[in-house]
Amino acid sequence: MPMYAALAVGLGLGAVLLTLPSGDFHLEDWGSAKRLVLCVAAGVAVLVLVRLHRLLFRPLELLRSPEDVGYIAEDGRSKARAANEARRRRKVGELPPVYPNGWYRVLDSHMLGRGEVRSAYILGQQLVVFRGHDGKAYVLDSYCPHLGANLAVGGRVLGNCIECPFHGWQYRGSDGKCEKIPYSDKVPESAQVRRWPSCEVNQQVLVWFHCDGLEPQWSVPEQPEVANGQWVYRGRTEHFINCHIQEIPENGADIAHLDHLHTPGIPSGVDLRYTNSKTWEFVRHDWKVEWDPEPEPTSHCSQMRVNHSLTLFGCRLPLLDLRVVARQVGPGVVFLRFDHSFLGRGLMMHCVTPVEPLLQCVTHTMFYQRNIPAVVPKFILKGESIQFERDVMIWNNKMYISKPLLVKEDAAVRRHRRWFSQFYSQNSLRLEYRQDTLDF
């Protein structure tokens, strides 16, 4: 839409020029065709300037809907229909519990201004997120226990409370207790909505989930460069993936898939039917990866160390060598730190948040050195998005295998599953399918 607006402005400027006295611009000898060309050229010039400004200064925002990536729409079917058919026909497999215990991103801080209210649907729950006048972000269950109104739909912030849009009951963000009923002198002790433990760190609002209602067992570390403003926001990508949450972080330990799926260059695209096309085979990525869990007291963390290099026509380009350390904190937050002698340093926040049992929202939020041109981290973020969407095509169509057939080179996958199992409890929710049968 901004591009169309820019084009309209440019055409309008051109039209204004045409309405001015021709002598002002020596247009008396111009024909109508030349004047039309002038009008179009003005529109194109404004459009180019807007695109250039977005490229150089604006953060990259790439937000995909659930059916946009990872499905093959054939025979004239829409993407939405292809996605629905793939989800319906796919064999699910014997799944682990669907909601691991841990911290999960709800939204980015800049999305929630003081006094604003947002609706969030995560972990199969409808939540209301609001920022009180004290500047703190609060997360509560959405539904008012009075008569069930959704606090996120029409609710307003009063002080550090959220007011129900139906009858005006006011709930404190700090503990969820009802503080005031405008037409009653007494507030029942049981008048309360569930408060979700939350924190705001690295310019993100996160909530803690535990199936047994236990308080947070670890914290999400703050990145000093983000907190002090040395590294600034350069963009975000968002994808919705139809798979179990464990499939996504397990990718970090599946070292063998990198050489097969991610060696083709970025110009090869994301459609796995064409990524190995000979057209772009002169551009190749090379990966050296190690994955290990961390010992106590940070056993809830793991690290993947990546050394990446790029080859062009078989020649390695040392200037583009990139070292990345990906530190996973719990099941839903990963810090990817970039360190490059020429391209600078930065951080990509990789967050996986379960929306439903088999639907994950994955965001990549980029922070980078303030003194590095924005086009550099935006290029890295876009390239990462292309590589990630190749994985999405696998995840959206695969079956989870609880007892996979592994070879010795896959040992890290087995270790990762043991490590990840710590985030499940005895009471963790499982997804059970009932398969109807026909008796003859």
| Residue ranges matching CATH 2.102.10.10 in the chain | 102-209
Residue 440, pLDDT > 50, answer no
DSSP string, 263-303: -B-GGG-S-TTTTT-GGGTTEEEEEEEEEEE--TT-TTEEE
| Residue ranges matching CATH 3.90.380.10 in the chain | 60-92+225-423
Q: Kindly report the CA angle at 116 between 111 and 122, in degrees rounded to 5? A: 60
**What is the per-residue pLDDT for 322?**
86
The mean per-residue pLDDT over the stretch 100-118 comes to: 97
Regarding pTM above 0.85, the answer is: yes
Mean pLDDT of the chain: 89
Per the CATH hierarchy, to which homologous superfamily does domain 60-92+225-423 belong?
Naphthalene 1,2-dioxygenase Alpha Subunit; Chain A, domain 1 (3.90.380.10)
Distance CA 294, CA 357 (A): 28
**What is the per-residue pLDDT for 235?**
96
Average the pLDDT over each of 50-64, 66-80, 208-222, 386-400 and give the range with the smallest value.
50-64
Q: Which of 124, 126, 119, 113 is nearest to 194 (CA)?
A: 126
The mean per-residue pLDDT over the stretch 241-265 comes to: 95
Q: Which of 149, 194, 152 is nearest to 173 (CA)?
A: 194
Q: What are phi and psi of 53, to 5 degrees?
A: -65, -40
**What is the per-residue pLDDT for 26?**
55
Residue 105, pLDDT > 70, answer yes
Side chain identity, residue 146:
H
Q: Considering only residues 37 and 118, tell me which one the structure prediction assigns the higher pLDDT.
A: 118
Residue 37, pLDDT > 90, answer no
**What is the per-residue pLDDT for 226?**
96
With a CB cutoff of 8 Å and minimum separation 6, the contacts of 420 are 100, 246, 249, 250, 331
Side chain identity, residue 416:
H
Average the pLDDT over each of 82-91, 194-203, 351-360 and give the range with the smallest value.
82-91
Report percent pLDDT > 90 for the chain. Answer: 74
Distance CA 235, CA 381 (A): 8
Contact call for residues 220 and 202 (beta carbons, < 8 A):
yes
pLDDT band, residue 23 (cuts 50/70/90) = low
**What is the per-residue pLDDT for 58?**
84
Distance CA 339, CA 365 (A): 16
Q: Say how many C-beta atoms besides its own lie within 10 A of residue 438's C-beta.
A: 4
Domain covering 102-209 in this structure, CATH number: 2.102.10.10
The label of the residue with tokens 């730190």 reads 337
**What is the per-residue pLDDT for 343?**
85
**What is the per-residue pLDDT for 438?**
46
pLDDT band, residue 70 (cuts 50/70/90) = very high
**What is the per-residue pLDDT for 371?**
93
